[in-house]
Amino acid sequence: MIRVLGIETSCDETAASVVALDDASAPRILSNVVLSQIAEHAAFGGVVPEIAARAHVEALDGIVEAALADSGTDLRDIDAIAATAGPGLVGGLIVGLMTAKAIAAAAGKPLLAINHLEGHALTARLTDGLAFPYLLLLVSGGHTQIVRVAGVGDYRRWATTIDDALGEAFDKTAKMLGLPYPGGPNVEKAAVAGDPTRFAFPRPMKGSAQPDFSFSGLKTAVRQAAQAIAPLTEQDVADVCASFQTAVSDALADRVSRALARFKTEFPHEKQPALVVAGGVAANRMIKATLETLCDKAGFRFVAPPLKLCTDNAAMIAWAGIERLNENLEEDDAFDFVPRSRWPLDAVSAPVVGSGRRGAKA
């Protein structure tokens, strides 16, 4: 039996979790405590790094205690401490990684410095026991990527955004329309009463031979449409949201279907290929339904882990720690590991010009 304590502080959730694995059964999440800081950042319309770092300092020890208590585990029974060491907001990363180093040093346990994106990438193995290889679509506030996952530590980024992340596009659209932060859920809610055909927004990159995503042109089109009909009625807002969401789903479907086709070419003998979604945008029902239909048509299994494991959490960090321990992939010098605001999952694929804000939420 392996039990790992995970710690996640890369953005605006302070989280700790204990995950266990034994030979006989599926992995078990013994506790999963997540404290969201949304209320502290809402007035600013986005995450304020300094406020986030201070909030992590205040909350983290209590969250770790709660995770241990909920799991019914004593620190003595924990085999290793895994903490997010990047990418993300560096203030928060320092708080989480230093806390993990202190706990590991005091308790005499191994430390694992985990890439947050690897946490998202391996979650479907924790929740659904998914076998390698598979495709991951990560759609969050800071990332929009398609990653080929072939093993622990074996990742290739097949597509990324050349400008805004998809969650960011939702958040900016909401802001332009006067909807509260975080934008995604509010845009989705408003869209229910809207006419998706009223505005013919662009489908960025649709049909392009280049595999990447782009959302900034769509954002500009939304701004221009909103300015042209200002002041906006409630119905106008609903129509913009519905038209935006439809454009986004359509653009996403085009990009993802290319990746599914590539996967089939690269893994022709894979009997049950799978697409996994992760990130907060995976909560969107229209996007989820679009991806499900796409997978059905392409003969892919569609895996959408429960939402609280799709968004930022520490269970995925603890699980990535277990996967690394099992493969003997722990860093030799984790105690010397310096948090990284940028840390691509795939060191091979070249960075795309314009993509990824420094320290963006992952």
What is the per-residue binding string for ligand KG4 in 70-99, x denoting contact by CB under 6 A?
Answer: ------------------------------
Residue 118 token pair: 């690897």
Residue whose structure tokens are 């404290």: 35
> Using the rule CB under 6 A, is 362 a contact of ligand KG4?
yes
| Residue of 103, 95, 96, 99 lying closest to 74 (CA atoms) | 103
CB proximity list for 208: less than 8 A, separation 6 or greater: none
Beta carbons of 114 and 17 less than 8 angstroms apart: no
Q: Report how many helices (DSSP H) and strands (DSSP E) the chain contains, helices first.
A: 11, 10
Looking at residues 122 to 161 of the shown chain, list those that interact with Zn ion (rule: CB under 5 A).
140
Long-range contacts of range 17-23, CB-CB < 8 Å, 24 or more positions apart?
A: 17/67, 17/313, 17/314, 17/315, 17/317, 17/318, 18/67, 18/68, 18/70, 18/71, 18/73, 18/78, 18/318, 19/126, 19/315, 19/318, 19/319, 19/322, 21/322, 21/326
Beta carbons of 179 and 290 less than 8 angstroms apart: no
> Using the rule CB under 6 A, is 140 a contact of ligand KG4?
yes
Candidates 214, 312, 322, 359: give the one binding Zn ion (CB under 5 A): 312
* Least distance in angstroms from the C-beta of 239 to Zn ion: 31
* Least distance in angstroms from the C-beta of 24 to ligand KG4: 32
Helix extents (H) in the chain: 38-42, 49-71, 90-107, 116-128, 166-176, 183-191, 216-228, 234-266, 285-298, 307-310, 315-326
Q: Which is nearer to Zn ion, 35 or 75 (CB)?
A: 35
Looking at residues 11 to 40 of the shown chain, list those that interact with ligand KG4 (rule: CB under 6 A).
11
Residue 280 contact, options ligand KG4, Zn ion, none, Cβ 5-8 Å cut-off depending on partner type: ligand KG4
Candidates 87, 119, 141, 356: give the one binding ligand KG4 (CB under 6 A): 141
Stretch that binds ligand KG4, among 56-64, 178-186, 257-265, 318-326 (CB under 6 A): 178-186
Q: Which is nearer to Zn ion, 91 or 273 (CB)?
A: 91
Q: Which is nearer to Zn ion, 237 or 360 (CB)?
A: 360
Candidates 163, 236, 239, 312: give the one binding ligand KG4 (CB under 6 A): 312
Rg, C-alpha atoms of the chain: 20
3-state secondary structure of 362: coil
Q: Which is nearer to ligand KG4, 149 or 248 (CB)?
A: 248
Q: Which is nearer to Zn ion, 163 or 312 (CB)?
A: 312
Q: CA 275, CA 124: separation in Å to the nearest integer?
A: 10
User: What residues form DSSP beta bridges with 111?
Assistant: 81
Looking at residues 263 to 302 of the shown chain, list those that interact with ligand KG4 (rule: CB under 6 A).
279-281, 283-284
> Using the rule CB under 6 A, is 167 a contact of ligand KG4?
yes
Q: Which is nearer to Zn ion, 4 or 282 (CB)?
A: 282
Stretch that binds ligand KG4, among 106-114, 164-172, 254-262, 298-306 (CB under 6 A): 164-172
Residue 95 contact, options ligand KG4, Zn ion, none, Cβ 5-8 Å cut-off depending on partner type: none
Residue 91 token pair: 């203030």
* Least distance in angstroms from the C-beta of 41 to ligand KG4: 12
* Least distance in angstroms from the C-beta of 158 to ligand KG4: 20
Q: How many residues sit close enough to ligand KG4 to count as binding (CB under 6 A)?
A: 21
Q: Which is nearer to ligand KG4, 27 or 182 (CB)?
A: 182
Q: CA 228, CA 256: separation in Å to the nearest integer?
A: 32
**121 Rama sector, left if φ>0, alpha if ψ -120 to 50, beta otherwise:** alpha
Q: CA 254, CA 27: separation in Å to the nearest integer?
A: 35
Footprint of Zn ion (CB under 5 A): 140, 312, 362
Footprint of ligand KG4 (CB under 6 A): 11, 140-142, 167, 170-171, 182-185, 188, 279-281, 283-284, 311-312, 361-362
